[in-house]
Amino acid sequence: MPWSAHIFQKSDRLTDTETIENKFYPLYDDILNECFPRDRFSICPQYATPLAQIGGIGAIDFTIAYVIEALDLDRVVFFIEIKPPTHLPVLYARHAADNQMRQRIPQISHLVRVPKLYGISAIGKHICYYTYDKNTRHVGPAEIPNSSLCIFDTVPIERWSSNIMEEEGRTRFLNVVREIQAMVNALWWALGSAACHRTLCLSCRAYLCC
């Protein structure tokens, strides 16, 4: 099934010449609400990282466009940063977007409990996926080394080849959402089993003391 009609309506009003990133927030807000049920997840716009909460000059630089938290866990499972589509063909702008994503991960890595954290750099409707492996601490995609002598395209435009409004892009996004939900379900189950085990142990101790 395609996206809901109201999502297409918002998408149709957004052109590739739009220069204001905030215009894309309602589109991604609707997509996130359609994919992450509010009875299981919290959708947090303008999420303040611990550094942003300190306040002062530059605090906005530590605020993430959207963060998804799992209910009852209060832990980050997904995040998005949004830029206008006019940034896509500009090498410097793509480099800035890539740097921002790589900086966000260590800012929130201590809040991650799922084995893999997904993040998305959205430039207009085109998205690039980032991952953080909690066990190995590996961040993908691999960073391409830069040079002080030559200008290299260290952030190829092809990384943003997935258009979330097209069928291929939507399918890929939903597959990521399903993977996130599966990781959260496994974590809930593990925590629930641990809680039941603790309750059983306490009951046994109480019985033995009688």
- Checking if the pLDDT of 56 tops 80, the result is no
Q: pTM for the whole thing?
A: 0.85
The C-alpha atoms of residue 193 and residue 154 are separated, in whole angstroms, by 45
User: 80-126: per-residue pLDDT in tens?
Assistant: 999 999 999 999 999 999 999 999 999 999 999 999 999 999 999 99
- Checking if the pLDDT of 199 tops 50, the result is no
Q: Quick one: CA torsion of 7, 125, 134, 47, rounded to 10 degrees?
A: -70
User: 66-83: per-residue pLDDT in tens?
Assistant: 999 998 888 999 999 999
- Checking if the pLDDT of 51 tops 70, the result is no
pLDDT of residue 117: 98
Query: Nearest Cα to 143, choosing from 176, 113, 102, 192?
Result: 102
Query: Over pLDDT 70: what percentage of the chain?
Result: 84
The DSSP result for the chain, as a single string, is ----HHHHHHHHT--TT---GGGGHHHHHHHHHHHS-TTTEEEEEEEEPHHHHH-STTGGGGEEEEEEEETTTTEEEEEEEEE-GGGTT-HHHHHHHHHHHHHHHHHHGGG--SSEEEEEEEETTEEEEEEEETTT--EESPPPPP-SSS---SS-GGGG-EETTSHHHHHHHHHHHHHHHHHHHHHHHHHHHHHHHHHHHHHHHHHHH-
Query: Nearest Cα to 36, choosing from 79, 86, 65?
Result: 79
Cβ atoms of 89 and 51 within 8 Å: the answer is no
Bridging pattern class, strands 139-140 and 116-123: unpaired
User: 168-181: per-residue pLDDT in tens?
Assistant: 999 999 999 999 99
pLDDT of residue 150: 72
Its CATH class, for the domain covering 5-209, is alpha beta
pLDDT of residue 207: 37
What value does the mean pLDDT of the chain take? 88
Mean pLDDT score, 45-70:
76
Least confident residue range of 26-30, 128-132, 164-168, 206-210: 206-210
Angle formed by the axes of helices 25-35 and 5-12, nearest 10°? 160
